[in-house]
Chain A
């Protein structure tokens, strides 16, 4: 084994969505960082759908951006169709989604990495960790080099012992066209980690020249497209439509007739798949009453003919795939460029990590992304960013940055992982956030910009822009509180139009905005000064006033639980010495070793009574 001469502050293993954010964050915080990956042509590659965002995922991207991460800027620069989802619902569940030009996305990320100071990019497969006395010292690669690092972040995605299934055919691979990572998960097992197996899948990629688009309904993005990043002023790239197709009874018959050749139904696949991303055979079996299933044909980029048919992932054999896709109207003579497949891979149960993402068994080792049992680019990037920040902070000798459940979806994500584990691939949903009404896309900067700036990831010019915006919001809220509408001096027509004809006394603008049928737009008609403010400020002010009752209620809920959340359990806490716990609870606590009382309270099966006992014991300094 050749020991490379340089010691890095941070070594990141894997240049997927988690690895890229991690490496950029570490390097931007001034740490010497090495990014190692199996194939340098495949950085930040989108293994599945060529899109970023969606419900709760869009929220994650905005948070990543507010903290100074890269993903928002990436998609703004390479997106080919932007849409805001749920515009007819309230602001807390409005979310951004965009189609990406997949190759552009990859190429731009490579360029950003290459231009980043303090960051070296090297090709290499890590086969083992070098750990001395419970502390990681570096990594070994397949070609026999040992790289030394003060901290190591593993972001290996679907690659650990990756096994690809197409029908009953299977072969080792990390992703179609990529080598798997062998060896590393054995090294993890040897170090005492519990390693499990999960499964996911992806549809075929279709040849766009063989699709009859003229018969399909087109779906266009929003005009103008609204960017993800708080720093992007405008989306410049030309926008493309998607097209909608539907399966039919014949499609379903083909599937039913061939279920015995599915690795899933044949029992060949042992890994647990995500219920929210079922294969088409799953949908047909579980919802037999549904006559058709919808699919969006998404372009993989502006410069390619490859098309991604969403919702049509399958692990059926290739001949069934031909028949299946061709049974769909508009796809009668479609050619498959890349077959659909399922993949099984190793992951490390995340109850073995702290909320800083550092592993419990091995000091200075961090896990981020799909290795923690999540799925999705945004979930991966969010963890990568936090791991990058926290390794840099560790090297600087500082406390980790841990976001609370009331602060960010990122906080919910990581807290869920460490307290619940991942028995199936974990994806973010807004329903997972108990403080959902506070965690909106529109206020991600208000929630997180300052933290991103404090660790050194938000550039000064960006931060200044943020401070300005925040000051405008504060001033406008103040103004709306003091300015009044006097009915006697007002236009009667306006009053009647807005149901204010009965108004006797003057009311503040704030009061007016609280009325369900009175919007900031209406106020603009009354008071032209509103118009001088940026749209984002107007939106923010309106939301904060309109929903203040609910927002305050959620703030109180956070306040009530803050005591538990801030009460730390010493790492060496001895649960076996604690009297009064049931055996089951004790076993749970010893297995999870929660960081805080708040975490302990969310572990399934840990009762409020147990939390009382724990809290007293911690206060009394017992259990040490």
Chain B
């Protein structure tokens, strides 16, 4: 709709272990890429050349992923605008993170079909193709409508509407004060407005926190079962898989030597990774298993570090412990039905320890609870009650609302130019309106007329 700004989206359906492409189109595409990509030359990138480097968050300096980046300058691109494509290797979650970074750096989340539409509007594709575009957009639109409908009824919409109501009330006070100077309306206590805005801000932040929960619920998490041989990894896997109806799909390992299974834990899709597939008594292969396990650690969202409680904690355990440093993990003390021998180092205990018996099933329920609540913080337990902020766009809108409110609070109260400060409040409402529907001037006037006795 707004051809002038720069848009971004994930442009490929992402397969397991495949490449994900974040595509950016618009005037700021090159600049954004320049800000987050380490691999460019000093003179900038040449058009239609691949560059290799790292994607770095310019704020924190964190390296997100390594990537191939190509710049296609206007008009020799799909949309006829400057286009940058970032090819990431790290799987879905990382690609999402890269997209979020691109949006933080100034791009807007593309509407469904927007790249194609731009391509068409800029004369890149012809009429025949355009017909197809309409179909595409229609399909997307209807899907979007269904989604919107769903959300309208859902929690998200209700929660945002409540936030909007609060903001609208504050705005109505300010607008009445501005528009009706002859009706002796005084601005209410500034602290009252401030408090109310702070409350709304807190609620927005809550929603933003919930965003990652929503995402996690939708896309699932990967959990790696790690531990030295013979600690009971595969029996743990089997126990977790035991309830047949919990199994969603069974994806064969992408490499012959890794097993992946998806289970449903309280509505949270969990992909379990186990090196159990290569369990063998031959030392060499055992070592190979260790190597694979260690390699997988950085890619998992959570590691279940399985230790055999009936044996002493040994150097192999310590090796794994070292590798876990800095990654989220749960310590699982297996074989709790046998006499306890293992003395776990102090610094391991803080991570959260659960004693189980994979064989008898004891403690498994607690383990499932722990996995779930690690990803889904405060909140209801049955998965249905989550505010699923299903799209980056919504997060984008909420982030903007948050920024506007913060900037409002910075300059409020401002006795002399309050209509300028009010712009931030209006813009915040506008941003929230992108999720739940616009606040019209009539909504503001309705509030004013119902609250104040207006009319000279």
Contacts and interface: CB of A to CB of B under 8 A. Distances in A.
B455 A430 contact: no
Contacts, number: 148
Given A276-B455, A431-B441, A550-B423, A612 B117 contact: yes
A604 interface: yes
Nearest to A601: B1
A609 B134 contact: no
Contact of B178 (A430, A546, A547, A611): A430
Contacts of B4: 559-560, 562-563
Contact of A563 (B1, B420, B423): B1
Interface in A14-70: 49, 54-56
A369 to B, nearest CB: 21
B453 interface: yes
Task: Tell me whether chain B's interface is mostly helix, strand or loop, or mixed.
Answer: helix
Contact of A620 (B127, B142, B426): B127
A431 B179 contact: yes
Contact of A310 (B130, B137, B426, B456): B456
B1 A564 contact: yes
A310 B181 CA distance: 15
B126 to A, nearest CB: 10
B77 interface: no
B5 interface: yes
A601 B201 CA distance: 29
Given A286-B453, A609-B141, A612-B137, A88 B1 contact: no
A90 interface: yes
B134 A86 contact: no
A290 B453 contact: yes
Contact of A92 (B117, B131, B420): B420
A183 interface: no
Interface in B114-137: 117, 120-121, 127, 130-131, 133-134, 137
A582 B130 CA distance: 20
Contacts of A431: 175, 178-179, 441, 444-445, 448
Contact of A276 (B2, B141, B441, B449): B449
A300 B426 CA distance: 40
A547 B455 contact: no
A367 to B, nearest CB: 22
A235 to B, nearest CB: 21
A432 B420 CA distance: 15
B419 interface: yes
B137 A616 contact: yes
A277 B5 CA distance: 43
Contacts of A55: 178-181
Interface in A328-368: none
Contacts of B184: 294
B413 interface: no
A436 B175 CA distance: 12
Contacts of B180: 55
A89 interface: yes
Contact of A89 (B131, B144, B178, B456): B178
Interface of A: 49, 54-56, 85-86, 88-93, 275-278, 283, 286-287, 290, 293-296, 310-311, 416, 420, 429-432, 434, 436-437, 546-547, 550, 553-554, 559-564, 579-580, 582, 604, 607-609, 611-613, 615-617, 619-621
Ranked 3 nearest A-B pairs via Cβ: A90-B417, A580-B138, A609-B141
16 contacts: A85-B182, A90-B416, A90-B420, A92-B419, A283-B455, A287-B453, A430-B175, A434-B441, A550-B420, A561-B2, A562-B4, A580-B134, A609-B145, A616-B133, A617-B134, A620-B130
